[in-house]
Structures are given as C-alpha cells and as structure tokens.
A = this chain, B = another copy of it.
Amino acid sequence: MQIGMIGLGRMGSNMVQRLMKNGHTAVVFDARAQSVEDLKGMGATGSSSLEDFVAKLDKPRAIWMMLPAAIVDNELTKLVPLLEEGDIIIDGGNSYYHDDIRRAAMLKQKGIHYVDVGTSGGVFGLQRGYCLMIGGETPTVQHLSPIFATLAPGMGDVKSSAQRSEVAAAKSTAEQGFLHCGPHGAGHFVKMVHNGIEYGLMAAYAEGFNILRHANIGMQQAEADAETAPMSNPEFYQYNLDIPEIAEVWRRGSVITSWLLDLTADALHEDPALSQYAGRVSDSGEGRWTISAAIDEGVPTPVLSAALFSRFSSRGNDGFANQVLSAMRAGFGGHHEKPPVR
C-alpha cells in the first residue's frame, strides 16, 4: 500500500523505512530537503513541495503527518486545499485529542477523512515496531490496516493474555500491537493516558534509585543545630550500593521488570553517576493533558500528578514558592536559610 509521509524527523523517517522494508511504498516530504534525499536513497519517492507531494500520491490519498503537535494546524492549513474528497489524513504525532475532534469535524465538511494515531515505541520503533492507538471512523481505519499492521510489532514472542476470550481476539487487533480505540480523538486520548502512566512509572523508578543512592548518608558527618533535623539512626544508612547491578538484578524475575527498567539499567551501566544529565526534565504535553482529563472526570491522580510536578520542580519552577516558604520561616521563627547537606 502507498503512504504519504510529511515530517521526516527520527520518528517519521523510521516509520517510512519500516513500511518500505515490508513491501509498502512511500512518497515523502519535509521542509528539510536533506531529509527527503536520505529517504529517496532508501527507495522512497521524494517531493519538493507540498503540491508536488500531493500530486505524486495515488487517490484516495493516505497522508501520514509526523510533526510536532504545535505546527500541525499550520501544516493542515496549507495541505487541505490541495486535497480531494475521499483523501485521508493521519496525525501520528502527539496532538491533543481535543484538536483531533475539532479537525475531524472541519475536514468532514470537505469529505476528507481524519485518523488520529497515538504512537509509542520511541527510537526503538524501527526494529521493535510501534504500539499504535487509533481513533477514527471504522471504514477508514480498516482501509489503513495494512499500514498499521506493518508499523506495529505484531505478536512476536509476547503471548496473548491467558484470560483473553476468543470473542475479544476475533474482533480486535490488539495482539498485533495496534488497536482501533474508538471515534475521533480516541487514539490520542489513549496515547495521552499511556504517557501519563509513563510519567508515573518513570518517577517511581527514579525515586527508588534516589533512595538507594543515599543509603550511605549515615556515613557522612552532620552537625547538630536547631535548623537541622539530626539523623537519629546513622547506623541504618551505611550502605554503598552498586546501583547499576541492582538495576540489572531487578530485570530478572522481579515484580518490577519492565522495558523502562531495561533502559535505566543501560544508562546506569554506562555511567553510574549519570553525570552527563543535569536533571532538568522536560514534559511534552500528554502528561499535562492527562491530569486535566482526570480533573474533568473527577478521577484522583495523586501519583501521576506528583510525577508531573516533580518535572516542573526539576526545572526550577518551584522557585518562588520556596522563597515564600523561606520568608515565612524567617518571619515566625527567625530561621535563616542554610546550604543543603547533600
């Protein structure tokens, strides 16, 4: 099947490669000509402009956009006038599902189909396959299923859940690694929650490793004054732990095995102090939207929100709040700030 791909960053480029390796053809476009050239060298049909790109696609066109969420609407403004009734636009990036609902309604007026696809797998997707969460109308989604089936990991050696019924298995492609989740926006909604969970999982590991790392704090000398809580039990914190090896052993048979742990073990083995990282942790939309959705639903998310807020704090955004605390302490107790004991 033929796919048109707009946006040839790491994600878009890898997806085109995975598709072509498995017998699909691709017409590609990117504002950076070099990105187009690179894929031409691997067999893709390049294009020099959006007009050229659209002209080279068979009808009905299937156009996959793999772009930063912030520029999708702008790109659509240029693209849509070039399209015809029956064409399909797939947003495979990290759009807010609210935008999907709006765009689908707008495009429907022109007879253009819209599909939102949440894509997980990161830079490993080229080899490992991408987990795809899909929203849109059923006929359109089914029309695109050869593409989804190729991008997805397939069953591989992950057995289907023991308890999964045959009825479920018959009507769903989940075990292939892609799922039609529901109407417009459902794909990005599920991907949003996926990322919200991801934030929570990552923070759980990060906090745990931080505790391990400070397990030798009792070996350090601390002075006693009214400002500092004395360590009452230094004898319990005398461990110099080999953190990379702990990550390694947890990967085998423990309850907390996961792919994120595998990645963490890799990073820790490379440098146990992780000194190349300053620890300013970005967040890219879905984590925030997950909490907003939870609040709209009235669903408590203390863990997922704590994970998000830790990222904010890691970037210093808690600065004024902390100054207010210090000012209060000076106010009622005459407490003066002192440098931290690390």
Contact = CB atoms under 8 A, between A and B. Distances in A.
Contact of A339 (B155, B181, B280, B313): B280
Interface in A56-111: 68-71, 94, 96-98, 101
A269 B174 CA distance: 12
A329 B294 CA distance: 23
A179 to B, nearest CB: 4
B292 A295 contact: yes
Contact of A177 (B249, B260, B342): B249
Interface stretch (A24-32, A44-52, A297-305): A297-305
B129 A207 contact: no
State the majority secondary structure of interface residues on A: helix
B250 A131 contact: yes
Given A152-B253, A178-B249, A231-B296, A309 B305 contact: yes
Contact of A193 (B208, B310, B320): B208
A335 interface: yes
B252 A152 contact: yes
Interface string A133-172: 1000000000000000000111110101111110010001
B244 A321 contact: no
B258 A325 contact: no
Contacts of A221: none
Interface in A197-220: 197-215, 217
Contact of A211 (B120, B161, B301, B325): B301
Interface in A230-257: 230-233, 235-242, 244-257
7 contacts: A97-B236, A120-B250, A164-B248, A176-B252, A196-B208, A200-B207, A233-B296
